[in-house]
Amino acid sequence: MRRTLIGLHTFVGIGALAGGAAALLNPYEPLGVPVDALEFSPFDNYLIPGIILFTVIGLGSISSALLLYSGSRFRGCVSATFSWALVIWIVVQCLMLRTIHFLHITFLAIGVTEVILSTATMLRHELFPLNVIMRIFREKHLYR
Given a contact cutoff of 8 angstroms between Cβ atoms, the answer to whether 137 and 18 are in contact is no
Count structural domains, the chain: 1
Domain of residue 67: give its range: 2-139
Give a yes or no: residue 99 inside a domain: yes
Given a contact cutoff of 8 angstroms between Cβ atoms, the answer to whether 144 and 138 are in contact is yes
Give a yes or no: residue 16 inside a domain: yes
Give a yes or no: residue 74 inside a domain: yes
Give a yes or no: residue 70 inside a domain: yes
Q: What is the mean pLDDT of residues 1-6?
A: 95
Give a yes or no: residue 98 inside a domain: yes
Percentage above 90 pLDDT, the chain: 81
Tell me, what's the pLDDT at 118?
95
Give a yes or no: residue 115 inside a domain: yes
Question: Which pLDDT band, with edges at 50, 70 and 90, does 66 fall under?
Answer: very high
CA–CA dist 134, 36 (Å, integer): 49
**80-109 pLDDT tens trace:** 999 999 999 999 999 999 999 999 999 999
Query: How does the average pLDDT of the chain come out, rounded?
Result: 93
Return all residues near 76 (Cβ < 8 A) that are at least 6 apart.
Answer: 118, 119, 121, 122, 125, 127, 128, 130
**125-144 pLDDT tens trace:** 887 787 777 778 777 765 55
Tell me, what's the pLDDT at 143?
52
Give a yes or no: residue 122 inside a domain: yes
Give a yes or no: residue 144 inside a domain: no
